[in-house]
Structure 1
Amino acid sequence: MSHVRFSIEQLHHFHCGACSGWWSIGDAPPRDHWFCPWCGTQLINAGPLPPLNSSPEAPEGPENNPLLNDGLAID
């Protein structure tokens, strides 16, 4: 039997205050400014991006395992 492999991506959504355009970046690196891809305006971060692993570590155990015994990922 083969097992399912998966990865986790944190998706960041950005909104331009100048043109109201928005865009998304998966696993965006921490920066203090961005450039709007729609109008080119330099935008200052309102706050730092949360770290990719911002949730505390869950204890090991079957109830916290993202894979079921049959190898299917759970949502």
Structure 2
Amino acid sequence: MSARFSLLDVVVLVEGIPQEGVPAGSLGTVVDLYGVPSATSCEVEVADDEGRTPWVGPVAYEHLRPHWWPRRTEV
């Protein structure tokens, strides 16, 4: 079963897109969902270390995983 994602979820590409210069492990944001409610892919905007957007395109859910930020316990 593929994971489900929502708009603006932060995701990690588990497989790179070499023809676009996007390496595996890149962080992206879900900016559109295809075929809702039975979506199997989504539009992902990938950002580089300087906040630029080098690539936006469709990615199948099986090539993504959620990026979980650790919960901050200090105040």
Higher RCO (C-alpha under 8 Å, 6+ residues apart): 2
TM-score for both structures, normalised by structure 1: 0.28
Greater C-alpha radius of gyration: 1
TM-score for both structures, normalised by structure 2: 0.28
